[in-house]
Amino acid sequence: MFTGIVQGVGSIDHVDNGADGADGARALWVTAELLDAAELGASVSVNGVCLTVTDGSRSCRRFDVSPETLARSTIGALKTGSKVNLERPLRAGDELGGHIVQGHVDGVGRVERLERGRDGVRLTVWTEPALLRYVVEKGSVTLDGVSLTVSDLGPTWFEVALIPHTLAVTTLGELEAGHSLNIEVDVLAKFVERLVAPWSDRTAGVAPESDAGYL
């Protein structure tokens, strides 16, 4: 589990493609001082994707990436020299500076517009309605592993404000219109939807398949 507070920016040393080529599993080799103490089997958020250390030494670590992760995120577009946001897992008793982030990317969004000013950047992101339903004004959303607050939203987009500090210590400072971003919505919204679904069906006159487990 993570909080969306990026602890460092790493770079892709190289990429190993699997036997199946671009559509198969692959491995990322990531270099960063933050990874010096990452042991074999440790979890690390890489651009918002929870990956496991499978090899490497000192500050260069290998992360194996499954076809499912490649299909759901922007990880497959990373190449040698690409910069990535990194975060080690939350420890019991640590400060929860952002919000609860699992590192399970829900989908990919696209940068529609950046409005730059002295106080930072107003970033507008397009995403699918299936994801946007979980996004609420003043709620939390994770973009490339960064916990952000939603400042506005419309039928196909939402907006966040990026302060100068965030722009300086994450990869979001390098964004341009058209760039793709990993999106993880607030997991609490998905749990609530799942829990109330049987009662919504009843209101609509549709009986649930089973009442087991519902009080």
Q: Is the per-residue pLDDT at 189 higher than 70? A: yes
Q: Which residues contact 26 (CB under 8 A, 6 or more apart)?
A: 15, 16, 17, 18, 64, 65, 70, 76
Q: So what's the pLDDT on residue 59?
A: 86
CB atoms within 10 A of CB 35: 22
Residue carrying structure tokens 């999106």: 183
pLDDT tens track for 156-181: 999 999 999 999 999 999 999 999 99
Query: What end-to-end distance do the CA atoms of the chain give, in Å?
Result: 30
Q: Which two tokens stand for residue 98?
A: 């952002």
Give the pTM: 0.88
CB atoms within 10 A of CB 87: 26
Q: Is the per-residue pLDDT at 96 higher than 90? A: no
Residue carrying structure tokens 């933050």: 34
Residue range 8-87 in CATH 2.40.30.20: yes
The second-level CATH assignment, the architecture, of 107-192 is Beta Barrel (2.40)
Q: So what's the pLDDT on residue 197?
A: 82
Query: What is d(CA 74, CA 90) in angstroms, rounded to the nearest whole number?
Result: 23
In which residue ranges of the chain is CATH 2.40.30.20 found?
8-87, 107-192
